[in-house]
Chain A
């Protein structure tokens, strides 16, 4: 249990009826890492994500962000504390423009309240101009700038994954949780996505990534955490993961001990 962990869980558990979807999971996500989370379908990865982001409440254990217990915080508060996530099945605001999707994210905008929007138009305008240029920069970085004025519902699956990442970047998060970013994305866009993740990581952003694409995980993630049947069955480097017989068994479906 390192002190350097930006995001950590301690003894985290969640049952659905008799099923222990997440069972006594303690992980550390080191600041500045791209940590990979793997495991067969039903291993509890997405449940763990939902516990980390507050979509689900745990039955046991704690979630810590920079050592601070955030277990009781709802998802919106966690985002404002710097913990952001994307979804396995992307959730764009379909009937809003791509640009609006991105400009939404920053917290504490003057024009977000009825009074602010009605009574302080000048200040709202100035803030909007700043937000718009920042959003355009981020969209440009994500290669989505030409689509800024299109409804988000028109984007391809891969483009919506880029949009989700652009959206959370607007909130300037410290840790970003990506749920299967490469699934269903064509190779060209996957390459863009990986490049952007690595560039953001070089700037000091921490990632925790669920992915089934082993090539993606082995090449870009370090360390790797593997789950099976709700428990952590492996943690270590990519090289160690490839040499680990227990992990390979877990992936092939042999019951974990």
Chain B
């Protein structure tokens, strides 16, 4: 019994961490139309930032400042935001597929740095030796895993509520206008360049938060975690859940993470022996198929974006509340 609960805690902790990253991507892509193909770099910046600031000192190694968890986590978030700001200044003139290629390149460069800058990142062996918050105080590993899950869920709730407030405010309206038509937004007195940069930095900082939580969960980070597949997983979560819908982003994270871990379990247990070597590859193919299939058959995702409407209450408003962006009645 405790084994099931403890697996469930692990599962939900990871799903929660990934959901935070998906919410960050949703701000960029779902709301602002910024095609970030390098999610893993900003996730990684948060993770490495946390480990460098909060880890234990090691010989020949920069970092290991053993800063308290909140400070190290904030430092990781800040590092992700700084990298996003620099990347943003350089690349945000690029649109759509070009921005995707440029940010993908940033992620590859980031992985390369983590693999090679041994003095900073520990190289291929990665960074370890992080004191997880309150682990010693709680003692019991099972209780600790529940406490950690509670913390992740609290962060997820805070990020969700903050982003919901943002996208339902005039700020969200601005972002959507930029997503829809920058020229028109500029002709109405708005400054798309500044807004795009701010949304890119904020979304990347949220990804950095997810990365920081991930690194503190495992108390370990290495270039293995910086592979491009993470970017595609997070994209698959957003596309399945519904770009432009924060609840969809969370739902997508849970579903894809369930499919990923479930398929890994099933392949390991039931796949013919000659396929056992290729379970990872089969999972990659499955992620690709999920993305392509969703884009072909339900591009709006399971929970599509909702239209902001004029007022609450009233029959007309209720009817339009159940109207999706193409104006079809959906419920």
Contacts and interface: CB of A to CB of B under 8 A. Distances in A.
Instruction: Tell me whether A and B are bound partners.
Output: yes
Interface of A: 53, 55, 74-77, 79-80, 84-85, 87, 91-97, 99-100, 103-105, 107, 109-114, 116-118, 121, 124, 127-128, 132, 136, 148-151, 153-154, 167-168, 171
B313 interface: no
A97 B162 contact: no
Contacts of A148: 310
Contacts of B162: 118
B188 A105 contact: yes
Nearest to A97: B307
10 nearest interchain CB pairs?
Answer: A117-B169, A111-B170, A79-B189, A149-B320, A91-B184, A93-B180, A111-B169, A117-B171, A109-B170, A95-B325
A197 B173 CA distance: 28
Interface string B170-191: 1111101101110111111111
Interface string B293-331: 000000000000101111100001100100101110000
B308 A96 contact: yes
Which one of A96, A148, A171 has the highest number of Cβ atoms from chain B below 10 Å of its Cβ? A96
Contacts of B177: 93, 96, 104
Contact of A104 (B188, B309, B311, B326): B188
Contact of B310 (A75, A91, A149): A149
Contact of B176 (A85, A95, A116, A168): A95
Given A93-B180, A151-B326, A118 B170 contact: no
Contact of A96 (B173, B188, B191, B311): B173
B154 interface: no
A57 to B, nearest CB: 14
Interface string B241-283: 0000000000000000000000000000000000000000000
A142 to B, nearest CB: 15
Contact of B202 (A107, A114, A121, A168): A114
Which one of B308, B310, B325, B327 has the highest number of Cβ atoms from chain A below 10 Å of its Cβ? B310
B165 interface: yes
B117 interface: no
B230 interface: no
B198 interface: yes
Given A94-B180, A121-B165, A168-B188, A111 B171 contact: yes
B166 interface: yes
A53 to B, nearest CB: 7
Interface residues of B, number: 38
Interface string B117-139: 00000000000000000000000
Given A87-B184, A96-B180, A76 B327 contact: no
Contacts of B179: 95
Nearest to A98: B310
11 contacts: A75-B186, A76-B188, A79-B188, A92-B184, A93-B177, A96-B177, A96-B180, A121-B169, A136-B310, A149-B309, A150-B320
A124 B169 contact: yes
A105 B184 CA distance: 10
Contacts of B170: 103-104, 109-112, 117, 124, 127-128
B165 A76 contact: no
A168 B166 CA distance: 24
Given A76-B191, A85-B187, A104 B310 contact: no
A96 B176 contact: yes
A74 B182 CA distance: 13
Nearest to B199: A114
Which one of B165, B166, B174, B189 has the highest number of Cβ atoms from chain A below 10 Å of its Cβ? B189
A99 B184 CA distance: 16
Given A95-B305, A118-B166, A151-B307, 14 more contacts: A79-B187, A92-B184, A97-B308, A97-B309, A100-B307, A103-B170, A111-B170, A117-B171, A118-B165, A132-B310, A150-B327, A153-B325, A153-B327, A168-B188
